[in-house]
Amino acid sequence: MTCSVRVTLQQAQVIVGSHGGNPGARVSSFTEVKSAGYSYTACTRKYHIALSGSEKCYVLLASPLAAIGENMTSTAPSITLPALSALLTRILDSTSVPVPRPVEHNVSGGDGKWDFGWLLLQLTPSTQSYLPISTLASLRPTLSPRQLARIELRLGTYLRALHGITNEWFGVPVDRPLSEPPAAPSLDSLFGANQSGGDGEGGEGEDWTRYSWQDTFVLQLEELLAEVCGDEGANGNTDSGEGLGINVEELRRYLSRAIGSFLFEDVEMPRLIWVTGSEEDVIVSLTPEKGSHASSDTAGAGGEAEADIAYFLPTFGHALWGDPLMEAWFLPPGPNQAITEGYFDGEEGGALIVFPRQKTKRVWYTVYMALIVLAEERRRQRTGDGETGVAEGWEKVVWAKEVLPKCVNILKDAPCY
């Protein structure tokens, strides 16, 4: 079963009219939001919806029922629509990070009428006038240094707020609490795990993998390798038909060395990480100067518009509870000075990477990001979706294929201490 879905104007009208508190309202604008950044997911469609005679605006996410259920064709982790709804609600309740507010979701296919599930999100009144085309990526060439610095400072602050949201376990966010872990593993449960042959599970089925970032990350990485490289790559052959130019068996040897050195075990607290967030997911607001009496604190220099972040697109499909260093924003050579200053709130000497082992971890996270891009490209090809046929999307695939061999070469002698 393919992972493709299309929502019609009539279906959007039914969803917004029935669940958005807008009986009788008509949709005046229904536009698909294309995604060419790291956050592209072949199994999710995003739509911007405006209503006639109303100031309300919405973002509608849709995923095919095959991707919502358990019989997914891919093995790589991806957050479900109910879990995304719960995650966005938690972000709004815990921080000032501007994300659309969940209104309602349904993963039953409209009680059997449709072949997709959906999540309806409402934009706040202060941000709804800014369309998803006004991304930081598209507006960057037109922004002044002052405008850009303000946006990036704010971005760093919001990233730090996201990373301040913590969890009790590592891995993909879910829509309902997982079972509470035992106070401590007993000897019986430890020996029971060995005798039962359960991988990372205790005698009563408790999954201890989720309480270790190293175990969680390695599992996610192996799943991506399996999807991107397939059985051919698992045997250590180069390329695997994907033009990767790497020896997967060699990469796994380096991973074994990292595991033996407990490279990833310095992450004790599971924190929310966007993982794939980039400039394509940041919607920018430009507020023009109002009259000649505008305050110098709010008006731009020389009468230029005041720039700020209106909201983040809900592109958290690959979000994880894990290590903040994994963010795409922190891909080398980033982050830049403004984002770093905002992230550390002006703290002198604030740095993401202090020790050589952290630099090595960042290389592994780049490998992970590249595999996500390639996995989504494979899914796009299976669906026949031409969304990433645009130059920006193809550039990400080219980047992934170029950076993987470079990362493998770096990892050959990368320190794990």
Lowest mean pLDDT among 35-39, 49-53, 352-356: 35-39
Report residue 373 as tokens. Answer: 């891009």
Lowest mean pLDDT among 7-16, 193-202, 379-388: 193-202
Where do the domains of the chain lie?
A: 76-97+127-169+272-406
* Residues 6+ positions from 417 with CB-CB distance below 8 Å: 261, 356, 357
> Measured between alpha carbons, how far is 110 from 101 in angstroms, rounded to an integer?
21
Span 162-181, pLDDT tens digits = 999 999 999 999 987 665 55
Cα–Cα–Cα angle for 183, 186, 187, rounded to 5 degrees: 160
Residue type for position 345 = D
Q: How confident is the model at residue 233 (pLDDT cuts 50, 70, 90)?
A: very low
Arithmetic mean of pLDDT, 83-92: 97
Q: What angle do helix axes 248-260 and 391-411 make, rounded to 10 degrees? A: 60
| Global pTM value | 0.86
> Measured between alpha carbons, how far is 313 from 135 in angstroms, rounded to an integer?
9
Arithmetic mean of pLDDT, 360-386: 89
Report residue 142 as tokens. Answer: 């037109």
Question: What's the gap between Cα 225 and its chain centre?
Answer: 18
Span 67-86, pLDDT tens digits = 555 444 454 558 999 999 99
pLDDT at 230: 74
> Measured between alpha carbons, how far is 10 from 53 in angstroms, rounded to an integer?
18
Span 103-126, pLDDT tens digits = 999 998 877 789 999 999 999 876
Span 258-297, pLDDT tens digits = 999 999 999 999 999 999 999 999 999 998 866 544 444 4
Report residue 84 as tokens. Answer: 């995304």
pLDDT at 128: 58
Lowest mean pLDDT among 132-141, 202-211, 335-344: 202-211
Helix-strand-coil split of the chain, %, nearest 5: 45, 15, 45
Cα–Cα–Cα angle for 355, 358, 360, rounded to 5 degrees: 115
pLDDT at 205: 56
Name the DSSP class of 173.
-
> Measured between alpha carbons, how far is 203 from 194 in angstroms, rounded to an integer?
9
pLDDT at 269: 97
Span 143-155, pLDDT tens digits = 999 999 999 999 9
Q: How confident is the model at residue 397 (pLDDT cuts 50, 70, 90)?
A: very high
Phi first, then psi: give them for residue 259, nearest 5 degrees: -65, -45
The answer to whether the CB of 363 falls within 8 A of the CB of 263 is no
Q: Which of 64, 37, 2 is nearest to 313 (CA)?
A: 37
pLDDT at 204: 53
Prior bond of 335 cis (ω within 30°): yes
